[in-house]
Amino acid sequence: MTGEQPDWPSCGLEGCSGVRLPTTSLCLAHASEQAPDAFDAELRRVSAESTVDARGVVVSAELLGRLMAAVAAEDHRPAFKVALFDQATFESEVELGEATFEGIAGFDHATFKRTFRNLDQGDRACASAVPGSRL
Ligand SMILES: [Zn+2]
């Protein structure tokens, strides 16, 4: 991935290719550390629209948990309308078995550092997300 320009406006921090949030020059991961207001605003937007754009973002367990919680439906199952995780890096074990994807789900070139678990077999939205797959 190094040397490859992402095709989205990226985080202002050097070496980070996470997609930048609308309200700050930082990506989700860095906004959570450095721009909590922008991060909270984005979480509210995610919650309202059930769409997540975390392309290129390094997704920690905590960040993933907050995103999943933000899109949780009444039955507490996360329901994404759009989930863009292209080239994202998942630092933790990913459990998407509970999650549903109503629309677009992108995991192109996503990196899974630990186990990928999808308990919901036959979910084709997740089928391309192979453990450890990367380019
Ligand atoms: Zn960043």
CA–CA distance, 58 with 54 (Å, rounded to integer): 8
Beta partners for residue 117, in sequence order: 95
CA–CA distance, 86 with 22 (Å, rounded to integer): 18
Instruction: Convert the pLDDT of each residue in 11-39 to its tens digit.
Output: 999 999 999 998 999 999 999 999 999 99
Distance 74 CA to ligand 1 centre (A): 31
Distance 27 CA to ligand 1 centre (A): 4
pTM to 2 decimal places:
0.78
Q: Are strands 58-59 and 94-95 parallel, antiparallel or unpaired?
A: unpaired
Distance 76 CA to ligand 1 centre (A): 28
With CA atoms as reference, report the closest residue to 49 among 22, 18, 83. Answer: 83
Q: Give CA torsion, residues 55, 57, 58, 59, to 10 deg.
A: -70
Instruction: Convert the pLDDT of each residue in 79-132 to its tens digit.
Output: 999 999 999 999 877 777 678 888 888 999 998 886 555 544 444 444 444 444
Ranges of each domain in the chain: 28-126
